[in-house]
Amino acid sequence: MSRTGALATRWLGVGLAACLAVTTIALWLTGRLALYVNPDSAWFAIGMAVVALVGSVATFALPLGAEADHGHDHEHGHAPAPALARREAFAHADHAHADAADAHDHDAHEHLAARPRLTPAGIAAFSGGLIASGAVVAVLLTPPAALSAELAVSRDVGAPPLFVGADVITLAASGDTSKFGIGDWAAVFAHATNPETFDGKPVTLTGFITPGQDGATFDLTRLVITHCVIDAQTARLPISANGAAPATGQWVTVTGTVRSSGDGALEVRADQVATIDQPTDPYEY
């Protein structure tokens, strides 16, 4: 394997892994890992990052290009690699010539034997490596940021939330709801069979503004994460308030009361809508 090929192989393996590991550890040290991973699962991400970084450092004990040997010793009876075998066979093939082979013929055969072959597998490997490298470089250069309101709206497919169970609805009907978030109440609004049970419940909720549906002044929205941002789900509550709605994407704290409308639906009647900056932890879990 050439030096360039060995460097490319090492970059696509331990190089990319080390970059992602360092990024994960840096996010954890700066308190921004929660922008990507549920804090309850952060220990796993951090542990794997440390393991990957230690393994990457350990690879420097291997000579450059050693990963291509695969433990074979070609000088002791083992067959050469398929690509090398083909090149050797081609370079030493006994082609029929009218004249005896001369130095020019020998040089031409050596040149053809050494020329790399363009194959679909090689093209796929190069393309995959280029995409992977671009993704990792983008991660390194892009500052950490929460998912946007536009993305939250695009992920909302109108289906009931899936991140809570029946116990949340039972608790909302008879227990303390002071710690309920938008995700909890969104599940209650979607699955409650007796909406009047929740009429009059006080709420204080923080989220960002999205366009209102079904006659609501606006929807109060939050992204709810189970493990990481890849599985983020959109939770939204209809808010009825006096006056115009704040701009889409603006973070607010709504203080009000859950009310049951005449058609059996639930909404939050807002007594106060206070604009705020984006919280340090913008998700619910």
What pLDDT digit, counting tens, does each position of 64-118 carry?
A: 666 566 555 544 444 445 555 555 554 554 444 444 555 555 555 555 444 556 6
Burial pattern 153-174, b for ≥16 Cβ within 10 A else e, equals beebeeeebebbeeebbebbee
Decide: helix, strand or coil at residue 69. Answer: coil
Q: Provide mean pLDDT across the span 7-11.
A: 69
Give the pLDDT of residue 159.
60
Distance CA 126, CA 48 (A): 27
Domain layout of the chain by residue ranges: 3-141, 153-276
DSSP symbol at 176: -
Q: How many CB atoms lie within 10 A of CB 232?
A: 20
Q: Provide mean pLDDT across the span 214-232.
A: 85
Q: What does pLDDT average to over the chain?
A: 75
Instruction: Give which of 285, 280, 161, 278 is closest to 209, Cα–Cα.
Output: 278
Q: Are 213 and 221 in contact (CB under 8 A)?
A: no
Give the pLDDT of residue 206.
95
Least confident range of 87-91, 135-139, 254-258: 87-91
- Burial label for 49, CB within 10 Å (0-12, 13-18, 19+), is buried
pTM value is 0.65
Was domain 153-276 assigned CATH 3.30.70.1250?
no
Structure-model confidence comparison of residues 163 and 64, the more confident one: 64
